[in-house]
Amino acid sequence: MKALYKSGPHAGFELVDRPEPSVGADDVKIRVMTTGICGTDLHIESWDAWAAENINAPLIAGHEFYGEVVEIGAQVRDVKVGDRVSGEGHIVCGICRNCRAGRRQMCINTVSVGVQRDGAFAEYVVIPEINVWVHHDTSVTPELGAIFDPFGNAVHTALSFPLVGEDVLITGAGPIGLMAIAVARHAGARKIAITDVSAPRLDLARSMGVDLAVDVSSTRVKDAQRELGMREGFDIGLEMSGHPTALPEMIDNMNHGGRIAMLGLASAPIDINWGKVVTHMLTLKGVYGREMFETWYAMSAMLSSNPVLHRHISAVVTDTLPAARWEDGFAAARSGAGGKVVLDWTGF
């Protein structure tokens, strides 16, 4: 099969022929149709310090995907050949304390598809049946199915706290931040503001119905509050950027008792005013991945019940390229100028 292969601990990928993966008794083999390019994949491609510490090379990367089941193991019970599917990329042990308590997203022995084991930047990928999500909704296109993983990040983060009637601040208008706009609106938020420094991404946010898109290279969040007619701070903060200045400014603009969900991984140390966190009685919650599998059910339910949300989430995909043009796809993703970049694997 064709695959984007990292042959060793160095920068770059190679589009080469690799052996097709074999299927174990509990596994499902999927013919990959589309894959999303994630920030993690950019780290792996460039082989930065994070990649050097976390990646087991040689490796086939890629963990955001959509495809068709072509083979199942002898012990597979529910997934069928021909099913159109996406996959939960975190493979858990099932026996640690959190797994046994039903908190699988907190498994201490998690192995990630495309990070510690071969992933989906290939014509075929194999994952355990328990990690397969079958799309019964035929309105889920291959492009939309490819971004269920990051859509799940947005849903998990945005639904960390009740949103009905609340004023929401989202920092970072990347693909996940953009999807969080649609989720927050679906969940009943009152006012939604989003920040970034990329004009194209802020324009995308406006097209998705955000109440205010703020260019923080020239405007402060406190000014945005006045523009929205807010007399107190934001009730809910969703930190999606990982930029070291985003969280401190968010904290400065929260209402007393405000709640913050943090998905963005910090790119540098963050200087936090812990006195304000205490005296304003703020709650900070770290978010990683998706709840297994409550988030997946919520994603499918929202898409099937809300045509506007379906349209907005689909619109986050701004570039679809053949897998053979993977270098152009990675360049587009790295530019930070658009939404989600998807590679099409059906041309081989």
Does residue 85 carry a pLDDT above 90? yes
Backbone angles phi, psi at 20, to 5 degrees: -65, 145
Section 69-96 average pLDDT: 98
At residue 268, the pLDDT reads 84
Using DSSP, state whether 156 is helix, strand or coil.
helix
In the chain, what percentage of residues exceed pLDDT 70? 100
| Mean per-residue pLDDT, 120-126 | 98
Residue 267 in contact with residue 252, Cβ under 8 Å? no
Per-residue model confidence as pLDDT tens digits over 257-307: 999 999 998 878 899 999 999 999 999 999 999 999 999 999 999 999 999
CA 61 vs. chain centroid, Å, equals 16
Residue 169 has pLDDT above 80, yes or no: yes
Residue of 10, 34, 35, 43 with catalytic role: 43
Token readout for 37 is 């390019």
DSSP letters, 36-64, are E--HHHHHHHHT-HHHHHH--SSEE---E
Residue 336 scores a pLDDT above 90: no
DSSP designation for 217: T
pLDDT in tens, 30-75: 999 999 999 999 999 999 988 998 898 999 999 999 999 999 999 9
- The CA-atom distances, in angstroms, between 309 and each of 142, 172, 186, 198, 211 are 17, 19, 7, 23, 16
Catalytically annotated residue among 35, 40, 171, 195? 40
- Tell me: the pLDDT tens digits for 139-150? 999 999 999 999
* pTM score of the predicted model: 0.95
pLDDT tens figures, 209-237: 999 999 999 999 999 999 999 989 999 99
What does the block give as tokens for 313?
A: 């989430």
Q: Please, what are the domains in the chain?
A: 2-147+316-344 (3.90.180.10), 155-286 (3.40.50.720)
179-193 confidence digits (pLDDT tens): 999 999 999 999 999
Q: Which residues of 286-324 are buried (b: 16+ CB within 10 A; e: fewer)?
A: ebebbbbbebbebbbebbeebeebbebbbbbbbbebebe
Q: Which residues contact 67 (CB under 8 A, 6 or more apart)?
A: 30, 31, 32, 33, 34, 84, 85, 120, 125, 345
In whole numbers, what is the pLDDT of the chain averaged over residues?
A: 96
Supply the pLDDT for residue 348: 78
State yes or no: is 280 an active-site residue.
no
State yes or no: is 35 an active-site residue: no
